[in-house]
Amino acid sequence: MKGKWTLFLQQKWSQLILFTLFIVVTSSALYFSKKSVIAFLLLLSSLLILHYMNLKNLTKWIMAAALLFILIPFASSGGPAFHSYMEVATMVGIYVSMALGLNIVVGMAGLLDLGFVAFFAVGAYSYSIFATSQASNFMPFGTYPLGGESFWMFLIIGGIVAAIAGVLIGIPVLRVKGDYLAIVTLGFGEIIRILFNNADRPVNFTGGAMGISSIAPPKIFGFELVFPNHFYFVTLVILLFTLFAVNRLEQSKLGRSWKAVRENEIAAQAMGIPLVKTKLMAFALGASFSGVMGVVFAAKQAFIDPTSFTLMESFTILVMVVLGGMGSVPGVILGAAVVTILNLQVLTELTNWVNQLTNTGIISIPQALSPSKMQKFIFGAILVAFALYRPKGLIPAKNKIFDASKLKSETPQKNSVRTD
């Protein structure tokens, strides 16, 4: 009986039937219930189930796009928690893109970066300064604030500025490696935050500790994007581009060079790989994805200040990469989604539930032990558990396997063609 059930699950059509049933049940539960966090999380988990299904990659991509662009927004729109769900989904997209950027630096190139949130801040401030009247404090020409139409241009500008910042920080820190590199990048992250915190005098560039408010919302064809569901689709499009770029980079010559440098720098250099250029490309490309999402974050929040870019943010993004599996693209996506949902949705709902029980007198838990205040403890416990029992992460990285005999048999044929 067990063997027949296993054989049944391995069939494509049976997987599709069960997957469709799961989607119908979870999306119906989410749409018709006023608020069901469990149904929302189960519907999101369908993307993970899809990853493990025995289907072609193209089919998986089409089904995932249908889920993300159509089904999840529609199923979430049935109740008053629609904007709450879209807010969580948008933040998941932002953090997934940032984690994919850090995965290039840490997971593929093997460069431990503890100040990655600095590039996120650079992208956010690059849009915020020009989308408010802040730029008129130091710009002798032009009219500020710029309109919401400039948001699309600043997606590119934010990525370029963050990439330049990545190269500038990469040049001096490449003299060190390992733990020393981690300490230097940690210091860089703090320097950027303190710089933004104090750049309000003698000329007010960043608003200092008061931050920058009233950031112009994006506009497209005269329509303002102000609600979470609007930013959900913007984030989704950028995330798909990021995924495409990261996948192409991983399979490219540059991606193989990153992995070679990660495994053994001396051997990689002996094979003719330029170490400095390869590492700087990792810093620049990883930072650019973070900078683009910084622009989206600033436009979505309409207010930023230096407290949005603390050291804890860098650690959180690193936790996402380590938890998912360093160097693994699907693993990092899963790790970022788990940590973000745990932080924004699960712990918040758990705290509300505990507060309700406390207010009704059923239990009595001190505020200091509230689940939302135990975030760092929970993340630490998860990391320790994974270090002990699953050190390669939720979905470990897999290198492409080549058939050595096939490659050897093809090599003489190519040489003969060239000779002829």
Question: What global pTM score does this model have?
Answer: 0.89
What is the predicted pLDDT for the residue at 136?
Answer: 87
The C-alpha atoms of residue 36 and residue 44 are separated, in whole angstroms, by 13
Confidence of residue 347 (pLDDT cuts 50, 70, 90): confident
Q: pLDDT per residue over 108-139, tens digit each?
A: 998 888 889 999 999 999 999 999 988 888 88
- Is the torsion defined by CA of 270, 100, 190, 201 positive or negative? positive
Q: pLDDT per residue over 5-42, tens digit each?
A: 676 666 778 888 888 999 999 999 888 887 778 888 88
Where do runs of H (alpha helix) occur along 176-252? 179-198, 228-251
The C-alpha atoms of residue 127 and residue 278 are separated, in whole angstroms, by 29
What is the predicted pLDDT for the residue at 420?
Answer: 41
82 contacts: CB under 8 Å, gap ≥ 6: 76, 229
Mean pLDDT confidence for 406-420: 58
What is the predicted pLDDT for the residue at 25?
Answer: 92
What is the predicted pLDDT for the residue at 181?
Answer: 85
Q: pLDDT per residue over 314-346, tens digit each?
A: 888 998 998 888 889 999 999 999 888 888 878
CB-based burial, 184-199: b 16+ in 10 Å, e otherwise = bbbebbbebbeebbeb
C-alpha dist (Å) from residue 306 to 88, 124, 151, 218, 296: 22, 11, 21, 22, 16
- Is the torsion defined by CA of 236, 237, 242, 243 positive or negative? positive
Structural tokens at position 316: 């959180």
* More confident of the two residues 411 and 399: 399
Express the helix, strand and coil content of the chain in percent, nearest 5 each.
Answer: 75, 0, 25
